[in-house]
Structure 1
């Protein structure tokens, strides 16, 4: 007797434990549906409100609140899926009896009687297996959900949760994807096509099976008519309509390098950026992005025309366009073809800037009291102990072309990009002094030797763009800003303010603007020149033509352009900053001016910049950088040794 009692006790305890577990699972499932937190697509827009891309993790879903859903969508859904939805309490008893009779006759579960509430449960928490235990759990959950949520909330969850085929989750996503329309612009036929999709998304996908999709839609329209919910005229028009269907990519990514960088930046602040349904507004302009991409491809094609043996798998380029007065990134192109390489050369690669770095050496000299009209020796010298290797201990730099100019002005030395004059200028300033000033300017990798005058260190286009902004920014260095705002699903807006620091006096920066304008007007940067707009800039070519740069700006826009081989092998000798990169700037600015004809075209001198006739030409100077007062034949011994006049 004791054994029998113990046996039944064990059975009772097991049954109770099973029941407790069953109901605990139900509570979890109910919570999942009530506290609905689906994965949502984040959308990226440019500064003009143009969609740049959708980004998501697994499920491409844009959320539609109940208020956004037109009544006709709800009517069509209820008509075809659950006509008594607003009357039942989660279960349609009459439909269950009908289905049960058919199941008994077939001796298996052949017909369902699922309400929209039950379908929502299947989509979110239960499998679709036709088992009685699962069906029991579904019925209990349906009653619980109807107790917790209103009918409107159930409809909202259903239309946002279900799969509509073609990678689209939720009716808002499907509407934009298939028809490029918001929900409130859909025709009845388009609505019918959408609400008919969840039954068999693959079969009814209108991009693959338009005939089946239209047939299913006609069934929905007929059901609405038979219920008396639409008129004969409305029915006739809807039946005849054949909507235009678009076969869109899921991401709709129009600027992949820009988008990748945006995600990297945004995820620092919002780890759920791919699933949180944010709206990101960029400072970038898709029109400018396209101009930059086309210009970069133009330069790439020109290199290939000149060199039929170029390795197309290695040759590449990058370009970043900013507003130098505030750091806004207007365009960012990390390579000539994202499909072939998603490596972002504008942000991830560090290349030697070569002669495009020289303006910073000259700027230091100007801020120390030198003038654009001060003279420097463009003569050959041997510098002992510059290189560390025993084989080449001394350093004997050369000019391009192996010639010398003698004593020339700083303005002329920069115009011609004279290596020896720049090195001698740096030597005169003092390497330690100049190096510390470069560190203060933010150059992290600057080597502490004279080769720095020729840009012998690595830097990314993004960082170099920030440094170059001190010239066009009238002495203010602007931190590059990709993102303007990020708006959450709750409407909270996070603004990303531009960051600026003043590193030069405006009048000192203008001296460099004038010198760099001379580079484009009559120097190594002539390839960037176009009529009708002031352009300032500097070319850069590294040893053996490994890298080719042009860093240029107008009064309102700045572009940093680079070309080279990814494996760091040299390009042909004809490829350099002046021939390879400068024409790309010209190509870009030509398009830019055409699109934005009201862009500012002339550099304006700030107060503190003076003009004076000097040695037969108009020269500018400031209080810090006065014009030289001594002639070459009357220099002091100290000045002669320093090689600067």
Structure 2
């Protein structure tokens, strides 16, 4: 189903406004599609690019001959012989090489298009596939990028501007004076052919363009179901759950990182932001072990199932005789509160084993809605059979610690996570929380942090800079980026 949404524009809802911020695209190009192409725009295109469009079968021999004569007269290329159908073929093939092979392929494709589609359908395909520079394809993507408008809201001057840059978008957008001259030429030509009025032509000649360069995020189709609020198939439009302020913060967080990172934010059980060095699908599809980020869930389970607040466990050895890595040496015996704060593995292994480790594993499986068979004793340390995605991790925290669903053990756990927040980030916010986790060899590093309604999950991959410390520069980046974000509002309350 998500594949069928390719080319849909994704909007963020801001108060009563809907703001476009992305396009469903599995390609590096931003190709937004639309069912609405103004009939006048099609008329203008035919007049400017291919006057015999409705007469030829995709190849206009007369047009080629005429262009050849004019080019010989001028001693340079002043006219092109390509029909609209050939231009469409070139855009579909995505091949702009000046070679005989390309021309042959383009010609064959043009003839195939003419046999398969009506002239009207070819014009619609043209405007949904034509290249507009900046990795933009289609009139809709161009309108949103250059003017921040859907096609139906573009005025005639703006439509003519887009027609103007079709022949060389990267050239014309860099040469506004030359673009203006060509637009004036096109407008005067259309006026001479009585396709636009004298008054309209005068307005076009006086038009001043405020090019906005609105960046549109390419969003992989697999990510779409996680952020969709509702879908309009007629308008090829998706209204998302994304909060643009938080989304911009997430994008900046990734941009500022010297390491490959991914981030996702969930507010009131909805994804409100996501970004990744590896593509927009990564926070949803990449699964790995999640280290100590599972300890808060286990803490609550153990406290609810007989482990007292002051009960001590061996912090140096465990009953499984496993060699596990610890952050450092503290006391030989730790209670659960101390073990959660210091992220001590041995204490949690011993506490779980002394209680009912199988029930602990079932508890974790239920939280993540995974099959119980995916969890085994080493899951106490964050390892699972198929891994956990960043989205699943953030969702689990968001749901588990929802203000509407707090038990005494969860409130107790959150108070410890609040101390971790203050200890690692160096500033205090009432009820804000933080839990970090690492996998073997520090390959993946996690941080889950947030407040009553908003939960962030952050993943850093790889160890490019040979950072051998447990958290190293990762926590420094978290501290630097989130200090400004959280300090904008200190009124965070769970209860």
The TM-score range, normalised by the shorter chain, is 0.5 to 0.7
1:332 is paired with a residue of what secondary structure? strand
Displacement after TM superposition at 1:266 (Å): 5.0
What SS does the corresponding residue of 1:50 show, helix, strand or coil? strand
Q: CA deviation at 1:586?
A: 4.5
1:435 aligns with 2:370: no
Shift of 1:412: 5.1
CA distance in 1, matches of 2:362, 2:458: 27
Match of 1:358 in 2: 295
What is the CA deviation profile of residues 307-363 of structure 1, one whole-angstrom value per residue up to 9, with x for unaligned ones?
xxxxx6xx444332213x52x22222334xx5xx99947742524413x32222222
Are residues 1:375 and 2:319 paired? no
User: How many angstroms does 1:550 deviate by?
Assistant: 3.3
Residue 69 of structure 1, aligned match among 13, 18, 38: 38
- Provide the secondary structure at the position in 2 that maps to 1:46: strand
Selected match of 1:559 from 456, 465, 490: 456
Residue 241 of structure 2: aligned partner:
283
Which SS does the other structure have where 2:288 is aligned?
Answer: coil
Match of 2:95 in 1: none
Contact 2:263 2:276 in 1 (8 A): yes
- TM-superposed CA distance for 1:429, in Å, is 0.6
SS of structure 1 residue aligned to 2:431: coil
Seen in structure 2, the aligned counterparts of structure 1 residues 245 and 366 have a Cα distance that, compared at 3 Å, is: closer
Q: Who is 1:51 aligned against? A: 20
Q: Could you tell me how far apart the structure 1 residues matched to 2:345 and 2:390 are?
A: 22
Q: Secondary structure at the match of 1:207?
A: helix
Residue 288 of structure 1: CA displacement? 0.9
In structure 2, do the counterparts of structure 1 residues 159 and 430 end up closer, same or farther at CA, with 3 Å as the change threshold? closer
Contact 1:544 1:570 in 2 (8 A): no
Name the SS for the 1:403 alignment partner. coil
Partner of 1:219: 185
Give the corresponding residue for 1:400: 328
- If the length of structure 1 is used for normalisation, what is the TM-score? 0.54
Q: What residue number does 1:602 align with?
A: 493
- Contact 1:316-1:566 at 8 Å conserved across structures: no
Change (3 A) 1:69 1:205: farther
**Deviation digits for residues 582-626 of structure 1 (CA, Å, limit 9, x no counterpart):** 6765554335x38xx7xxx3213xxxxxxxxxxxxxxxxxxxxxx
Q: Which residue of 1 aligns with 2:414?
A: 517
Contact 1:47/1:283 (<8 A) preserved: yes
1:534 aligns with 2:462: no
Q: Give the drift of 1:558.
A: 1.2
Q: 2-side partners of 1:175 and 1:396: how far apart?
A: 57
Structure with greater helix share of residues:
2
State the superposition RMSD in angstroms. 5.6
> In structure 1, what is the Cα distance between the partners aligned to 2:67 and 2:243?
61
Q: Which residue of structure 2 lines up, in the alignment, with residue 308 of structure 1? A: none
The 2-side partners of 1:102 and 1:332 are apart by 51
Q: 1:206 to 1:348 in 2, by over 3 A?
A: same
1:102-181 to structure 2, matched below 5 A, reads 119=83, 171-181=139-149
Distance 2:444 2:68 in 1: 76
Structure-2 separation of matches of 1:185 and 1:448: 60
CA distance in 2, matches of 1:235, 1:297: 44
Which blocks of at least 5 consecutive residues in structure 2 are unaligned? 70-81, 91-99, 227-233
Paired residue for 1:332, among 265, 274, 279?
274
Native 8 Å contact 1:189 1:238 kept in 2: yes
Distance in 1, matches of 2:203 and 2:415, equals 69
Which residue among 394, 397, 411 is the counterpart of 1:465? 394
Q: Distance in 1 between matches of 2:317 and 2:449?
A: 33
Whole-angstrom CA distance in 1 between matches of 2:156 and 2:13 = 34
Give yes or no for contact 1:61–1:168 (8 Å, CA) kept in 2.
yes
1:477-496 equivalence runs, <5 A? none
How far residue 119 of structure 1 moved from its aligned partner, in angstroms, is 5.0
Q: Tell me, yes or no, if the aligned pair for 2:145 and 2:213 is still in contact at 8 Å.
A: yes
Larger Rg: 1
- Alpha-carbon distance in 1 for matches of 2:63, 2:276: 63
Normalised by the size of structure 2, how large is the TM-score?
A: 0.67
Q: For residues 530 and 90 of structure 1, do their structure 2 counterparts lie closer, same or farther at Cα, with a shift above 3 Å needed?
A: same
Inter-partner Cα distance in structure 1 for 2:121 and 2:310: 79
Q: Report the alpha carbon displacement of residue 515 of structure 1 after superposing the two structures with TM.
A: 1.9
Cα deviations by residue, 1:265-309 (Å, 9 ceiling, x for unpaired): 4599xxxxxxx99434432323212223445677x5xxxxxxxxx
Structure 1 partner of 2:352: 426
Task: Describe the superposition over 1:467-499 as per-residue Cα deviations: whole angstroms up to 9, x where unpaired.
Answer: 334421369xxxxxxxxxxxxxxxxxxxxxxxx
Aligned length: 454
> SS at the partner of 1:551?
strand
Cα distance between partner residues in 2 of 1:58 and 1:319: 20
Q: 1:540 to 1:246 in 2, by over 3 A?
A: closer
Q: Where does structure 1 lack aligned partners over 5 or more consecutive residues?
A: 1-38, 105-117, 269-275, 301-311, 388-394, 476-505, 605-645
Is residue 465–residue 560 contact of structure 1 (8 Å, CA) maintained in 2? yes
- How far has the Cα of 1:51 moved from its partner? 2.6
